[in-house]
Each structure stands twice: as structure tokens, then as C-alpha cells.
Amino acid sequence: MSGVRRLSAMSADLARARRGGAFGPDERDAAARILAEVRREGDEAVLGTVRRFDDPQARGSDLLVDARALRRAARRITPELRTALDLAYRRIRAFHEAQRPRTVVRSDRDAMTRLLATPLGRVGALVPRGAAGYPSTVLMTGIPAQVAGVRELVVASPMTAGAEVDPALAYALTLVDAQALYRAGGAAAVGALAYGTRAVPRADKIVGPGNAYAAAAKWLVSAEVGIDALQGPSELVVVAGPDADTDALRLDLLAQAEHGSGAFAMLVSTSIALLRAVAAALGTDEGAARVFLYHAPSLRRALRAANDAAPEHVLLAGRDAARYADAIDRAGAVFVGMRSAVAFGDYVAGTNHCLPTGGTARWASALRVDDFMRWTSRVEIRRPARLAPAGAAIARHERMRSHADSMEVRG
């Protein structure tokens, strides 16, 4: 953890923490090499990365777990965790049900035009792994796919040593009707889903978070397969008033650092006393190395700095900061008030925790049902004679004579 710094230092610290965005040139080059190997060698290349990073004894037959095997593994889940995942599923499902797309129709005497939503056919979802599996991310990627009506969902998640299947992960996969679990992560998993292998067909779209290598790989394959947002290492900016709770802030900041390599958290406050108290509370905790503290001359400046950072998460801590939720319009998710720990959004609030990182919240959004749909325009001209003269005039100006003729012949 750095000491308390002036707010003017935040921009440079942010650039260093992000290393250029959701990924840097080193991650991009490494991801490109892995993708090329997977394109050439398929499952064999993926198996090589699994043996290198996850399980040295992994076999090719361990890569794919089908729906029947997932149901068997899911039976070993503890009752307490099953109840918790059921509650999370209900809340996330309810929020995403409200996002169901609606057909857009405009009709007049001359034409009927529609915009129609169609579910994607096959989606691959990335679910990273830390010290344990992440069933929460299965729910976050799988539920909007389920609500959208996606025909086939394959989840890719790193293999555990010994090739055991985490019962909680398996149970979450059964809740979202996943067809299979492909046990690989990072750039190798992205390559398998993008290009297809013997074990897993190519996807129409790849969604979900990962490390910087996975984010780089998604970007590299985006000309050949759909992707959602670039969801690299996790990040948090907290704007705190002087009434914010020191102990709760310490836990919020450490929770963010818990996401591991590349994750960071920034606390901005007008109160030097609060910043010093948080620094003391963090002490020498291992996660404190990824926490940055800044003193802002005013709450307005603090809010502007958070918005300019366009981070994955913003927490407005304390009554003064919470009043300005509308001032933050460039973040993946905003948590309002001292009660609203960011961790609730990771599990049971109902919103999606797959969020844009690396400053991409300037244009990208949280994962949602619309990410699993494609839209088609449908046109039915009723009275071509009324529309052809205007269309033909524009076409002839653009030197598109056949365009003009094709409309006028129908008039």
C-alpha cells in the first residue's frame, strides 16, 4: 500500500496499475502464441497448457465433462451451499428476466419495419478459478444466456489438480442448463471456444471474465467470434466521505485485492483522518500492497476522478458520497451507501458481476441478456410508389443508378 497521496497522482498510478488497459503487450503476445497453437493442434495444445498450469497428470479425456457427469458431481454439494446458490440464482434470474428484449415495430401506410431479437445458437462462457471454483460466475454468465434462450451453453473453467469436479461448480452448471464443462482457462480456453476442437464446437460468442491473458485472447479472436466486454483484472474506486466506516472500508479494499494478480483498489476521500485510519487498519496485510489512498480537495473532485477512471466498480461510501450516485455514469457497477458492499454484487444482489475493466467502462457495459441475442431488421414496403422518388434521388446523388432503378421499377 502506498501512503496517502495527492489526488493528482491518481492518474499515473492508475495507468501503472492497469499496464495499458485490460491487458498489455506482453499478455497480448503470449495470448497470440497460445491461440496459434490451439488453432493448429486443438485439444492437444489446450492439454499442454492445462498440464503446465493446472494438473501435470491431466489426460485428454479429462478435458470435457458432459451434462450427465455434471449432474452426478452436483449431488455432492453441501445443503448449506446449495441453499445459498438457489437464493443467488433466484435473485439474479429475476433481475435478468426484467431485461427480456422486446420486438420494435413501426408501421405506417407506406411500410412496416421491425427489429427482431433472436437468441444466439452456441455460447462459450469463461469462468476463472482461484483457490476454489467460482459457481457465482457460472450463474452470472449462464442465467442471462438461459433467459435469452441460447440453445447451447458450454462453460470453460480451469481444471483442478486430480481432475476432480467441484460439486458447487457442477451444481451451478446444472441450474443454468449448461451442456458441458470444458476444463481449461485463459487464452487456451478462448482459443478452443473461438476455433472449435474435437471436444468442443466453436461458439458464436465468448463471454465472461478472466485474467489479462484471457482478455487479450478475446480481443484477438473478436474478428472471428463475438465477445462481450474486456473483463480483465478486477478494480475498485471508493469515494468516501468523512462519515464512512473504517473497518468496513478496510474489508472492501481487501476484498478487491483478493481477486489476485492485477487487481487493485483506490480510496479517495476529502478526510485525511479517514485515510490515515484506513491505512492503519490495513497495516501490513498482504492485500494492502494493491491498495492506493488519495486525498481530494473536494467531494466534487473526488467524484470526477472516479468517473474519469471509468473503473469496473465504484463504491460511494458514507451519506455525503451516496447522495451523488447520478454523478457516476462511467463505471461497470456503482454501489451506493455504506451498507452496499461491492461483494453483494458478486453474489446475491441480482446484478451481473461480469463487468468491463481497464477503463473500457467508458463505452462497455455489464453483461446482460442482450449480449446473448442478435437483432435482425425486417422490412415490408406497402406503397413503393410513395417512397421510390425520395430513395432514388438519394441513390442518384451517390452515383448508385441501379439502386435508384430497383426502387423506381416497383413504383
38-69 pLDDT, tens digit per residue, is: 999 999 999 999 999 999 999 999 999 999 99
Whole-angstrom distance, CA of residue 111 vs CA of residue 88:
45
CATH architecture of 25-227: 3-Layer(aba) Sandwich (3.40)
Q: Does the pLDDT value for residue 342 go beyond 80? A: yes
Whole-angstrom distance, CA of residue 145 vs CA of residue 206:
11
Share of the chain above pLDDT 70, in %: 99
Q: For the chain, how long is the longest CA-to-CA vector?
A: 80
Whole-structure pTM value: 0.94
Q: What type of residue sits at position 84?
A: A
Same fold, 4-21+233-362 and 25-227: yes
Cell numbers placing 177: 442448463
- What pairs with residue 236 in β-bridges? 265, 313
Mean pLDDT of 68-84: 98
Name the residue ranges covered by the structural domains of the chain: 4-21+233-362, 25-227
Measured distance between the N- and C-terminal CA atoms of the chain, rounded to whole angstroms: 73
Active-site pick, 96, 259, 295, 313: 313
Cell numbers placing 284: 501490513
Mean pLDDT of 65-87: 98
Residue-level pLDDT at 1: 64
The predicted-structure confidence for 363-410, as pLDDT tens digits, reads as follows 999 999 999 999 999 999 999 999 999 999 999 999 999 999 999 999
Number of Cβ atoms within 10 Å of the Cβ of 69: 14
* DSSP conformation letters of 358-389: TTGGGT-----GGGGEEEEEEEEES-HHHHHH
Residue-level pLDDT at 92: 98
- Residue 213's nearest CA partner among 332, 126, 297 is 126
CATH entry 3.40.50.1980 includes domain 4-21+233-362:
yes
- Residue 127's nearest CA partner among 90, 182, 176 is 182
Q: Is 37 a catalytic residue?
A: no
Q: What backbone torsions phi and psi does residue 181 show, to the nearest 5 degrees?
A: -115, 120
Mean pLDDT of 260-277: 94
Residue-level pLDDT at 2: 64
Share of the chain above pLDDT 90, in %: 89
Alpha helix ranges (H) inside 54-164:
67-74, 79-97, 135-148
Q: What backbone torsions phi and psi does residue 185 show, to the nearest 5 degrees?
A: -135, -175
pLDDT band at 232 (very low <50, low <70, confident <90, very high): confident
Residue-level pLDDT at 190: 98
Q: Is 313 a catalytic residue?
A: yes
Mean pLDDT of 276-295: 93
Whole-angstrom distance, CA of residue 201 vs CA of residue 220:
19
Angle between helices 135-148 and 167-175 (to 10 degrees): 10
Q: Does the pLDDT value for residue 351 go beyond 90? A: yes
Active-site pick, 27, 37, 235, 312: 312
